[in-house]
Amino acid sequence: MDSLPSSLLYYTSQIANFTRNTVKVNSLNQTTLSSNGVSQIRLALPVNSVLNMKSLSMHGKVSTTNSTGANDAAVLIPRGGIGALLDRVTWSAGGIALDNGPVPYHVISALKSNLEKSNDKNMSDDRVLQQAEIQDKGSHVNPSNAKGQQKHLIQNNFLGFTECHPAYLDMSLLPECFMTIQCAQASVCPLQSVVTGATLGSAVLAANVGTPAYSIDDIFFTVEVCQIGSGMYDALTQRLLMERGSVDVPYPQYQVFSTNQSSGVGDVRGSVSCMSLDRIYAVVRNNNNAGADSKTPLGFSHSQAPVEVQDTIGAKYQQQAVNFAAFDTSNWKFQLNNAPMPLYNPDAVDAYNFAVCAEDRTYSASRGSLVHSQAAWLNNKWCACQRLNLDNDPTRLSGVNLSSINAQIVYSPSGGNSSPTPGITSGGVQMMLITKQTSVLRIGQSRACAVVA
The whole-angstrom separation of Cα 207 and Cα 294 is: 9
* pLDDT on residue 112: 95
Backbone angles phi, psi at 194, to 5 degrees: -100, 5
Contact 73, 209 (CB under 8 A): yes
SS3 119: helix
The whole-angstrom separation of Cα 270 and Cα 26 is: 38
Long-range contacts of 288-292 (CB under 8 A, 24+ apart): 288/425, 288/427, 289/425, 289/426, 289/427, 290/425, 290/426, 290/427, 291/426, 292/206
> What residue ranges define each of the domains in the chain, with the CATH number in brackets?
16-452 (2.70.9.10)
* Helices and strands (H, E) in the chain, number of each type: 6, 24
The whole-angstrom separation of Cα 132 and Cα 20 is: 30
How far CA 323 is from CA of 66, 202, 419, 430, 439, in Å, comes to 23, 16, 18, 11, 29
* pLDDT on residue 162: 95
* pLDDT on residue 7: 79
* pLDDT on residue 265: 83
* pLDDT on residue 287: 84
* pLDDT on residue 420: 67
Across the 453 residues of the chain, what is the mean pLDDT of every consecutive 10-residue run? 74 78 94 90 93 96 93 94 96 92 95 92 91 93 96 95 93 94 95 88 85 96 89 83 90 94 87 93 83 59 88 89 91 93 94 94 88 93 94 88 89 81 79 95 91 84
Contact 402, 272 (CB under 8 A): yes
Longest dimension (CA), the chain: 76
End-to-end alpha carbon distance in the chain: 42
E strands in 1-104: 18-25, 33-34, 40-44, 50-65, 74-75, 86-93, 96-97
pTM: 0.93
* pLDDT on residue 358: 92
DSSP structural state of residue 393 = -
* pLDDT on residue 293: 47
Backbone angles phi, psi at 49, to 5 degrees: -140, 155
pLDDT digit string, tens, across residues 61-103: 999 999 988 889 999 999 999 999 999 999 999 889 999 999 9
Tell me whether strands 96-97 and 429-444 are parallel, antiparallel or unpaired: unpaired
Amino acid at 219: I
